[in-house]
Structure 1
Amino acid sequence: MKIKNQISFGLLALASVAFACGGGSSTSTETASEETVSTPAPAKEVSLEEKYQDDPIYIKGLEKVKGSDCQSCHMVERKIVGPSYAEVAAKYESTEENVEMLASKVIAGGVGVWGEVPMPAHPGLSEEDAKDMVRYVLLLKK
């Protein structure tokens, strides 16, 4: 009698597990697939890095930014000491005039545009390197 009860209990447990995993009802599976077909899946949010990873301006500028001290005060999407690169890109259009103006600010340093914390001068940075870095930053507009 004990063995028969144990077998019955085991079969009941197995049926419960199968039902809980979707084996007991075909209606819920059909409903879920209908909802998937009628409602498009939300687009995966792509990071700024993923968005521009093959752009030569992005690659060149990122390489120069990583080789500098920029990352001690700036991040791509979050403010640290200075504004994020995305904030700078949102404020300035990617025009040659803005590239020249921002590159000169990177080299000369400054204060007041983004608050009272001064951006140190980078006199050892060439104008072309500064422009490549600024072009990279301006690509990062959301």
Structure 2
Amino acid sequence: MKRSLLVFAVAALASGAAMANADLAKAKNCMACHAVANKVVGPAFKDVASKYAGQKDAEDKLTQKVLKGSSGVWGPVPMPANAQVNEAEARTLVKWIMAQK
């Protein structure tokens, strides 16, 4: 009984963290151009996660793209710099995005 309660608690915390990061993505306007499963203006987060999966420097590279913007990787529409996102928030968002595969 205690073990199943512990498993439930861990699962609830993990899903709460995932939901919190989705809320952060909404709060920082990421969802204006992106969605988890389908392309909007920018690529789907699951596509980003697949493209960068297994790359050792992916988290650092994507954090910089969130902060400074990017162009040419996913087509002609550039991603602008995100001045409303600090580095810690960008890392949190990138970790969440990378878990969307």
The bucket for the TM-score relative to the shorter chain is 0.7 to 0.9
- In the other structure, the counterpart of 1:134 is 94
- Give, in whole Å, the separation in 2 of the partners of 1:89 and 1:63: 18
- Structure number, greater radius of gyration: 1
- In the other structure, the counterpart of 2:58 is 98
Aligned-residue sequence identity (percent) comes to 33
Quick check: 1:94–1:139 contact (8 Å CA) kept in 2?
A: no
After superposition, give the CA deviation of every residue in 1:72-112 in whole Å (9 maximum; x if it has no partner): 11011010100000100110126662111101111100100
**Is 1:124 aligned to residue 81 of structure 2?**
no
Quick check: 1:106–1:121 contact (8 Å CA) kept in 2?
A: yes
Q: TM-score, normalised by structure 1?
A: 0.57
- In the other structure, the counterpart of 1:68 is 28
The alignment of Structure 1 onto Structure 2 pairs a total of residues equal to: 90
Aligned equivalent of 1:108, options 68, 85, 100: 68
TM superposition shift of 1:118 = 0.5
- Give, in whole Å, the separation in 2 of the partners of 1:101 and 1:68: 19
Task: Structure 2: state its 5+ residue gaps.
Answer: 1-10
- Give, in whole Å, the separation in 1 of the partners of 2:87 and 2:23: 16
Q: Which runs of 4+ in 1 moved over 3 A?
A: none
Q: TM-score, normalised by structure 2?
A: 0.78
